[in-house]
Amino acid sequence: MKVAVVMGSKSDLPVLEKTIAVLKDFGVEVVPRVLSAHRTPDEAHDFASSAEKEGIEVIIAAAGKAAHLGGVLAAYTVLPIIGLPIKSSTMDGLDSLLSIVQMPSGVPVATVAINGGENAALLAVQILAVKYDVLKEKLKSFKEEMRKNVLKANDEMLEEMK
Four-way CATH pick for 2-131: 3.40.50.1970, 3.40.50.10800, 3.40.50.2300, 3.10.180.10: 3.40.50.1970
Question: Whole-angstrom Cα distance, residue 56 to residue 128?
Answer: 11
Percentage above 90 pLDDT, the chain? 94
Q: What is the pLDDT of residues 50-106, one digit of tens each?
A: 999 999 999 999 999 889 999 999 999 999 999 999 998 778 899 999 999 999 999
Burial (Cβ within 10 Å: 0-12, 13-18, ≥19) of residue 2:
middle
**Contact by Cβ (8 Å): 129, 136:** yes
pLDDT of residue 6: 98
Q: What is the pLDDT of residues 90-143, one digit of tens each?
A: 788 999 999 999 999 999 999 999 999 999 999 999 999 999 999 999 999 999
User: How far, CA to CA in Å, does 161 sit from each of 92, 98, 151, 155, 158?
Assistant: 37, 43, 15, 10, 5
pTM: predicted TM-score of the whole model, two decimal places: 0.94
Question: Residue 114: which of 12, 23, 32 has the closest Cα?
Answer: 12
Show me where the domains of the chain are located. 2-131, 133-162
